[in-house]
Structure 1
């Protein structure tokens, strides 16, 4: 497959085609446009813990009863203007997180993860009907594992040498979004589409886990598909044809936020 966009080849000064340069890479990922997806809202989902201290206390209680806590979160990718965007949740206008949550001690990994994704993002009742409403989640590669060595907030992408009993492991998975899908977010949260360049090297706003996502995805090549199912760009290849920016897709009504 050529790695140059058709528009580039038709320019007055077409580029010099390089030799093949895709050895030992995973399969190319097809990304669909943000406009292919339908977004709605559902009832509030209050946070389980009123404070960070309460959350760490609950983690300790879980550890004492069941051992290390297992947490699963998904990296859901689509595109806008041929630039990858990550779907993530914003809570209380400040805290950002990926869809997912911790597993109950009796749950299997992937089955429990799909349940957490449905709790956060699946539509409820008869709010929507038709294509994309009840599509199964396609869980892809594990892209990262983050470890919590103690009952504290900071996590590491490795187990520190002195730690033999980590208290939590959080796994991040690539989620292959289908051509269409219906997603509903709790009203007390926002669902955002955040471009990769906004996340990159932006630990001050998004923290070390989310700002590392561009690194995690750099192993893939992408095909960008338009609303008609036509591949309009690939990587390596042409850049954005518009002005990518973070977009509020759903939620946040309680705060009076306007959805583009």
Structure 2
């Protein structure tokens, strides 16, 4: 009890400030609130393959015709209660994946990636209107590269020593969205997942998604409100209203009726 009282009393004193500790840092990243985004749904996008085996077979056919498959996915970061959240898709109420997909053989990397992002998240028709609201994908740093050495489900964050011809390379890019309209296929859900939910949670999210907090730890963040004013920065001041961030379903999931072909972690390594 005395320790708690001691800590409470110390909070009334100014903290001891150390010397600057920001040498060789990458640029500070500005994160925008979830309230900056408008979410909706569009027609469903069924999975191309009915099973894991069918997906691996298609990968093998792609490799024979076009060589290594190139896959691009986006780490879309926003904030809620001054805590970073990652926007990701959930399929069949079980499998999680980042927005993006494999590139067509003729696609240039960044332009092809933007096309894939639009297929997943861009609104269609006149579903939404609003002045100054456009989806300008700002493709930032490459945060990770995952390699598939063989026609199998597991991927590695390095090329194994005995592998000279990997079958797929997946790149994860940092993406900032100041203000956007996002529309998710009806057979998927769009979630906002806080970093602490992903951290060390390979059982639920798989090794790629659970590694995202590590990938983002290189950055300092500024958290801005709806008016663009900085309200917190890292190292942060904690939650503004005492609320605890949690996973939020933002859109979609209206007609999710898909066959489950494995647990969430194993599917995520394949996608």
Confirm or deny a common fold (TM above 0.5).
Answer: yes
Partner SS, residue 205 of structure 1: helix
Does structure 2 conserve the Cα–Cα contact (< 8 Å) formed by 1:199 and 1:214?
yes
* Alignment pair present for 1:97 and 2:102: no
- Per the alignment, residue 46 of structure 2 pairs with 46
Q: Matches of 2:134 and 2:185 in 1, distance apart?
A: 17
Which digits, 9 at most, give the CA deviation of each residue in 1:64-101, with x for residues without a partner? Answer: 00000000000000000000000000000000000000
Helix, strand or coil at the partner of 1:254: coil
SS in 1 for 2:141: strand
Higher mean alpha-carbon deviation, 47-56 vs 130-139, is at 130-139
User: Aligned partners of 2:69, 2:177: CA distance in 1, in Å?
Assistant: 27
- The C-alpha deviation readout for 1:11-33, integer Å capped at 9, x for no partner, is 73222222111111111000011
Deviation at 1:130, TM superposition (A): 1.6
2:84 alignment partner, SS class:
strand
Secondary structure of 1:39's counterpart equals: strand
- 2:244 aligned partner: 243
Provide the residue aligned with 2:146 in structure 1. 146
1:221 counterpart residue number: 220
3-state SS, counterpart of residue 192 of structure 2: strand
The answer for the alignment partner of 2:17 in structure 1 is 17
Q: Give the distance between the partners of 1:199 and 1:159, measured in 2 at CA.
A: 24
Secondary structure of the equivalent of 1:207? helix
Confirm or deny: 8 A CA contact 1:28 1:220 kept in the other structure.
yes
Relative distance call for 1:113 and 1:243 in structure 2 (3 A) is same
Partners of 2:14 and 2:185 lie apart in 1 by: 48
Equivalence for 1:182: 181
The Cα offsets for residues 116-141 of structure 1, whole Å up to 9 and x where unpaired, read as 00000000000011246433200000
Secondary structure of 1:220 counterpart? coil
Query: How many aligned positions are there?
Result: 245
Aligned alpha-carbon RMSD (Å) = 1.3
Specify every segment of 5 or more residues in structure 2 that has no aligned partner in the other structure, as ranges: 1-10, 258-271
Match of 1:4 in 2: none
Runs of 4+ in structure 1 over 4 Å off: none
Alignment partner, residue 212 of structure 1: 211
State the TM-score, normalizing by the size of structure 2: 0.88
- Report if the CA contact (8 A) 1:188-1:253 is conserved: yes
1:84 correspondence with 2:84: yes
What runs of 5+ residues in structure 1 fail to find an aligned partner?
1-10
The answer to whether the 8 Å contact 1:131/1:181 transfers is no
Contact 1:123 / 1:133 at 8 angstroms: preserved in 2? Answer: no
8 Å Cα contact 2:74-2:174 kept in structure 1: yes
Q: Which residue of 2 aligns with 1:155?
A: 155
Report the alpha carbon displacement of residue 177 of structure 1 after superposing the two structures with TM: 1.3
What aligned pairs does 1:56-205 form with structure 2 within 5 A after superposition? 56-131=56-131, 133-178=133-178, 180-205=179-204
